[in-house]
Amino acid sequence: MKKVQFTETVMRDANQSLMATRLPYADFEEILPVMDKAGYYSVECWGGATFDSCLRYLGEDPWERLRNIRAKMPNTRLQMLLRGQNLLGYKHYHDDVVEKFVELSIKNGIDIIRIFDALNDFRNLGTALESVKKYATSRTIASGCISYTQSPVHTVDKYVEMCKNLVKMGFETLCLKDMAGTMSPYEAEHLIKGIKDAVGDVPVILHTHCTTGMAYMTLTKAIESGVDVIDTATSCFSNGTSQAATETMFYAMQQYGIETGLDEKVINQVNDFFKPVKQKYVDSGLINPKSMATDSQALVYKVPGGMLSNMIANLKDMNAMDKFDEALLEIPAVRKDLGYPPLVTPLSQMVGNQAVTNVLVGERYKNISNEVKNYFKGEYGISPAPVDKGLQEKILGAGGQPVDCRIEDSRRTGEDFEKAKKALGDLAETEEDLMSWICFPKQAEDFLKSRKEKREQVVKYTIEEA
C-alpha cells in the first residue's frame, strides 16, 4: 500500500507564517500528550524564528520550551529548521558554535534537523551535517533541504543534481522548501518524479505554503509523483501564508487508499483544541486577516508576496507609487545581475531594495547598497548562476574576485564562548544560556536578567512567608 506521511507545523511554520511566531508555550502545552498519539511523521516545533521570538517577545527560554515539548511528546519525532552555517540568524557563525548548537539541540530533544541555505550553497551545510552525525542518537535524522525558486537557471536537472549532491554529502532525507508557495502542480510532478528517479529510496519531503492558492493541487500532484512526506498544519492554523490543512489532506488521501499513519480522531481533537487559541489572536489583531487569504499576485509578478508588499510600502513612503511598474520590471533584472538568488530573506530584501533604488535614482547601480556589495564580495556564498561581470568589476575593481568567507570564518577558537561568559557573568547558568547569547546577545541578556530578577523575587517571597 502506498504510504505518505505528515509533518505537523502548527507550532513552528504555521505559528511563524500566520502570527509572527508569537504563540506562547502555555497556549499549546495541554494538547501535546494528545498530539503525541496522532501518528505524525514528525512535529516541526523549533528553530526558524521560534528561538528569537521566545527570547525577544515571549519571555521564554527556547531551550526550556524544547525540553518541555520533548517531555510531553516522548513518542513523536521533534523537528527543527536550521539555516546551515547561519544557525537561526543571518550571519555566519564559527564552526565550533555551529557544532555546539547542534549538540545542544539534540541533547534538549530534537530528532530531525532540516538544514538549508538561502542560496543553496551547500558548503554552508557541511559543518551542521557533520555535527548532526557526531551527536546523533538512534532517532536523529539529518534532512538536506533545498530552497526552491524559479528562474531560467533553476531547471529540473539542476534540482536533481542538487539532490544527488545532498545524498552524497550524507543527508538521509531530502526536502524541497517552497517558501513563497509558487511551485505549481506541473512543476511538482516533474521535480518529484525526476528526484525520485535519481535518488531511489531516499525519502523526499515537500514543504510548501498556501500563499498563492496552489498548495493543495501541488501536494496532490507531488503525492501522485511519489513524494514520501508532506508538511501540513492543523486546519484552523492552515491556509493563507501557512501550510495546507492536515485533516483535509488526510481525508483526500484516505479515499485513494493511501496509508498516512494518522489517527483521524486525534487529528480532529488537535484542531478542536487550537480553534479557540486561534480565535484569541484573531480577536487581538495579532493574526491579520490578510495572512489568511489567498494572494495570487506572486504568480502574476513572479515576486514573493512579502517582497511585493515591502516594495509597495517603500514606494509609498517616498511618494513614488508612480514608479511601481518600473520597479516591478527592475526586480527580475537585478536578480539576473546577482546570478538568480532564491528570493528569500535576506536576498529578497536585498534585491527589492536595490531595484527600488535603481529606479528612484534614475540610473542603475549609481548607488549600491552595502548588502549587495557584500554579496558580490562572496559573504553570502556562491550565487546559483554567474553574476554580471560588469557589476562585479564595478564593485570589486578590475579583476576582483569574491573571497571564500567560509574558510576565513570557520576557525574553531572557542572565542565566542569566552565572550559570552564574560558578558553574562553569573546570569549564565548553562551552556544553553551561553548559546542563546551567542545567537541573540541583546535579547538573551534581557531575558536572563529578567529570569534572575523573577527568581530573586520568588526567594524573597518565600523568606517573607517563612
Site residues (CB under 5 A) for Co ion?
13, 179
Tell me the chain's radius of gyration from C-alpha atoms: 23
CA 13 to chain centroid: 8
Residue 296: strand, helix, or coil: coil
Minimal distance in Å, beta carbon 16 to Co ion? 7
Minimal distance in Å, beta carbon 231 to Co ion? 8
E-strand ranges in 152-237 read 173-178, 204-208, 229-233
> Between the CA of residue 207 and those of 195, 218, 236, 308, what are the distances in Å?
15, 10, 18, 22
**Of the two residues 13 and 117, which places its CB atom closer to Co ion in the complex?**
13
**Of the two residues 129 and 179, which places its CB atom closer to Co ion in the complex?**
179
Minimal distance in Å, beta carbon 188 to Co ion? 16
Q: Which residue is nearest to Co ion, using beta carbons?
A: 13
**Of the two residues 191 and 387, which places its CB atom closer to Co ion in the complex?**
191
> Between the CA of residue 348 and those of 209, 210, 233, 340, what are the distances in Å?
17, 19, 25, 11
Minimal distance in Å, beta carbon 9 to Co ion? 8
Minimal distance in Å, beta carbon 179 to Co ion? 5
**Of the two residues 73 and 179, which places its CB atom closer to Co ion in the complex?**
179
**Of the two residues 76 and 243, which places its CB atom closer to Co ion in the complex?**
243
Q: Which is it for the CA torsion 254, 259, 264, 267, positive or negative?
A: negative
Minimal distance in Å, beta carbon 396 to Co ion? 34
Minimal distance in Å, beta carbon 114 to Co ion? 10
Contact partners, residue 92, CB within 8 Å, separation at least 6: 85, 86, 124, 379, 405, 406, 409, 410
Q: Using an 8 Å Cβ cutoff, are 289 and 19 in contact?
A: no
Minimal distance in Å, beta carbon 241 to Co ion? 9
**Of the two residues 100 and 114, which places its CB atom closer to Co ion in the complex?**
114
**Of the two residues 166 and 205, which places its CB atom closer to Co ion in the complex?**
205
If you ran DSSP here, which 8-state letter would residue 11 be given?
A: I
Closest-CA residue to 345 (of 38, 42, 25, 81): 81
Q: Is 143 exposed, middle or buried (0-12, 13-18, 19+ CB in 10 A)?
A: buried
**Of the two residues 96 and 187, which places its CB atom closer to Co ion in the complex?**
187
Report how far residue 307's alpha carbon sits from residue 167's, in angstroms, rounded to the nearest whole number: 32
